C-alpha cells in the first residue's frame, strides 16, 4: 500500500498568532530574513505581486518588491505555511539562546559589553548573530565606551568581538530607515557620526589593542591603522570592499595603509577589494602578530595581562610622543574621507550597489 507523508496544515488563526509572535522578537533577525518574511506575508495575504516596480533609487522598496515578485508561482496557502514555519523557527531559536553576559559587565550597553579587569578595559562587540555588524547605536556605544576607558584607571584598552566574527562592517540597515530628510539627511548624519567615531580612535590616550578573533570587514579593518597593536587569530581575514559598494576609504586608511603597506599593496586592498589572510595582513604591517586559533585567546590574554602590569602614565606618555606628531594630519585625513563618503553615499553608483546587495538577500 502506497502512502504519502502528511503535510501539516495551518489555519488563519495560526497565521494571526505568528504575526503577533513576530512582534515579540527581541533581536533583529537581519535583512535577509526580514525580506523573506515580508515577501511571504504579502504573498499569503494578497497573492502574486501586483504593485508597480519602485524606482531605481528607492532601493529598500525595490528589494521588497523583488522578494515578493520572486514568489509569483507560490500558492497563498503555501506562503502562509512557510511564513508560520519561519516565525516559529525564529521564536524557538531566540527562546533557546543563552545570553552570555561577561562577569562585571558595565550596565547601560545593548550592542557591546564593557568590562575592566586586571587593569584592562575590554570593549567587546556583542551582536554575534549579526556577525557584529555595526549599527548607529553600536557606533554611539563604542564612542561612549572609549570616552569612559580614556578616563578610567585601566592601563590598556582592548577591542574585540563576541562569536565567530570580529566585525562584518556596517549594518546596511543603517540605510534602511529613511528620515523625513531622505538620503541626504542619512548621508550627512552618517558622515558626522563616522568622523566622530574615528576621531575617538585618533585621540585615544592609552595603548589601544585590537584582538581580532575572526573575519573583519570595512570600518573594523580601516581603523586598525589607528591601533597600537593588532593581534589576530590565523582564521581572521581582512576585507575593505569599498569599490564593490561604490564607496571610498575611511578610518584614515587612505593615509595609514599606504604608510604601513606601501602604495601598491594598499591599492590592492583599498581600490581593488583584495581580501587579506591573517598571515598576509601581518606581512604587510596591518597585523602585529598572528596566533593559532586553538591557542589564540590564551596566548593573547597572557601577554595583555603582562602589558597591563606596566606603569600606566609611562605608557600613555610614550604613546603621546610616538603618535602626537601625526594627530593633526590624521584629523585632516578623517575630515576629507568623511566629506568624500558623504558624496559617495548619494551617488548612483553607491545606491545601485546597495540596492544590488538587498536584491541578492531577497533571493529565496
The pLDDT of residue 183: 77
Percent of the chain with pLDDT over 70: 88
pLDDT in tens, 84-98: 888 888 877 665 444
Three-state DSSP at 8 gives coil
Full set of structural domains in the chain with CATH: 12-97 (1.20.80.10), 112-356 (3.90.226.10)
What is the pLDDT confidence band of residue 241, given thresholds at 50, 70 and 90?
A: very high
The pLDDT of residue 364: 44
Question: Is 331 buried (19+), middle (13-18) or exposed (0-12) by CB count in 10 A?
Answer: middle
Q: Cα separations (Å) of 241 from 8, 105, 268, 270, 353?
A: 44, 33, 11, 7, 11
Task: Considering only residues 82 and 59, tell me which one the structure prediction assigns the higher pLDDT.
Answer: 82
C-alpha cell at 278: 591573517
257 phi and psi angles, rounded to 5 deg: -65, -50
The pLDDT of residue 61: 77
pLDDT in tens, 255-290: 999 999 999 999 999 999 999 999 999 999 999 999
pLDDT in tens, 208-235: 999 999 999 999 999 999 999 999 999 9
Least confident of 72-81, 83-92, 298-307: 83-92
The secondary structure of residue 152, as a DSSP letter, is S
Give the residue-averaged pLDDT of 306-314.
97
What span, in angstroms and rounded, lies between the C-alpha atoms of 229 and 306? 14
What is the pLDDT confidence band of residue 7, given thresholds at 50, 70 and 90?
A: very low
In this predicted structure, the answer to whether residue 6 has a pLDDT above a threshold of 60 is no
Task: Considering only residues 300 and 71, tell me which one the structure prediction assigns the higher pLDDT.
Answer: 300
Task: Considering only residues 183 and 195, tell me which one the structure prediction assigns the higher pLDDT.
Answer: 195
Percent of the chain with pLDDT over 90: 59
What span, in angstroms and rounded, lies between the C-alpha atoms of 67 and 159? 37
pLDDT in tens, 24-75: 877 777 777 888 888 889 988 999 998 888 775 566 777 788 888 888 888 8
The pLDDT of residue 348: 86
Give the residue-averaged pLDDT of 125-147.
95
Residues 350/59, Cβ–Cβ less than 8 Å: no
In degrees, rounded to 5, the angle at the alpha carbon of residue 133 between the alpha carbons of residues 197 and 210 is 60
In this predicted structure, the answer to whether residue 4 has a pLDDT above a threshold of 50 is no
The pLDDT of residue 15: 86
In this predicted structure, the answer to whether residue 313 has a pLDDT above a threshold of 70 is yes
The pLDDT of residue 98: 44
* Three-class secondary structure assignment of 83-119: HHHHHHHHHHHHHHCCCCCCCCCCCCCCCEEEEEECC
Q: What is the Cα Rg of the chain in Å?
A: 23
In this predicted structure, the answer to whether residue 127 has a pLDDT above a threshold of 50 is yes
Three-state DSSP at 260 gives helix
In this predicted structure, the answer to whether residue 361 has a pLDDT above a threshold of 60 is no
The pLDDT of residue 56: 59
In degrees, rounded to 5, the angle at the alpha carbon of residue 272 between the alpha carbons of residues 268 and 277 is 55
Three-state DSSP at 271 gives coil
Give the residue-averaged pLDDT of 147-159.
97
List, in sequence order, every residue forming a beta bridge with 116; answer none if it has no partner: 121
Longest alpha-carbon distance in the chain:
85
| Bridge-based pairing state of the strands 289-291 and 237-239 | unpaired
pTM: 0.78
The pLDDT of residue 300: 98
pLDDT in tens, 159-175: 999 999 999 999 876 66
Q: Tell me which residue of 225, 207, 208 sits closest to 216, measured CA to CA.
A: 225
Q: Cα separations (Å) of 157 from 149, 238, 324?
A: 7, 21, 18
The pLDDT of residue 222: 98
The pLDDT of residue 34: 82
Amino acid at each position: 500500500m502506497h502512502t504519502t507523508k502528511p503535510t501539516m496544515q495551518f489555519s488563519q488563526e495560526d497565521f494571526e498568532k505568528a504575526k503577533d509572535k513576530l512582534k515579540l522578537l527581541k533581536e533583529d533577525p537581519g535583512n535577509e530574513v526580514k525580506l523573506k518574511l515580508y515577501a511571504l506575508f504579502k504573498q499569503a495575504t494578497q497573492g502574486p505581486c501586483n504593485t508597480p516596480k519602485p524606482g531605481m533609487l528607492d532601493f529598500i522598496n525595490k528589494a521588497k518588491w523583488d522578494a515578493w515578485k520572486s514568489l509569483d508561482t507560490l500558492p497563498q496557502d503555501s506562503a502562509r505555511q512557510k511564513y508560520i514555519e519561519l516565525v516559529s523557527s525564529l521564536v524557538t531559536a531566540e527562546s533557546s539562546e543563552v545570553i552570555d553576559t561577561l562577569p562585571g559587565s558595565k550596565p547601560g550597553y545593548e550592542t557591546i559589553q564593557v568590562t575592566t579587569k586586571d587593569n584592562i578595559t575590554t570593549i567587546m562587540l556583542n551582536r554575534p548573530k549579526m556577525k557584529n555588524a555595526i549599527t548607529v547605536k553600536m557606533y554611539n556605544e563604542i564612542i561612549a565606551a572609549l570616552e569612559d576607558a580614556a578616563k578610567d584607571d585601566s592601563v590598556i584598552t582592548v577591542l574585540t568581538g563576541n562569536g565567530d566574527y570580529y566585525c562584518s562592517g556596517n549594518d546596511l540597515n543603517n540605510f534602511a530607515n529613511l528620515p523625513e530628510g531622505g538620503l541626504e539627511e542619512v548621508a550627512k548624519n552618517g558622515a558626522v557620526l563616522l568622523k566622530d567615531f574615528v576621531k575617538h580612535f585618533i585621540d585615544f590616550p592609552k595603548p589601544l589593542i585590537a584582538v581580532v578573533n575572526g573575519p573583519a570587514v570595512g570600518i573594523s579593518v580601516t581603523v586598525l591603522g589607528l591601533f597600537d597593536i593588532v593581534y589576530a587569530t590565523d582564521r581572521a581575514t581582512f576585507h575593505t570592499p569599498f569599490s564593490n559598494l561604490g564607496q571610498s576609504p575611511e578610518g584614515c586608511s587612505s593615509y595609514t595603509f599606504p604608510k604601513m603597506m606601501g602604495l601598491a599593496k594598499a591599492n590592492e586592498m583599498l581600490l581593488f577589494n583584495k581580501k587579506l589572510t591573517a598571515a598576509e595582513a601581518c606581512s604587510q604591517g596591518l597585523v602585529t602578530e598572528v596566533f593559532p586559533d586553538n591557542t589564540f585567546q590564551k596566548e593573547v590574554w597572557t601577554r595583555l595581562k603582562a602589558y597591563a602590569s606596566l606603569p600606566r602614565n609611562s605608557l600613555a606618555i610614550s604613546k603621546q610622543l610616538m603618535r602626537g606628531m601625526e594627530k593633526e594630519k590624521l584629523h585632516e585625513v578623517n575630515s576629507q574621507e568623511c566629506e568624500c563618503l558623504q558624496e559617495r553615499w548619494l551617488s548612483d553608483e553607491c545606491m545601485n550597489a546597495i540596492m544590488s546587495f538587498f536584491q541578492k538577500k531577497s533571493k529565496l
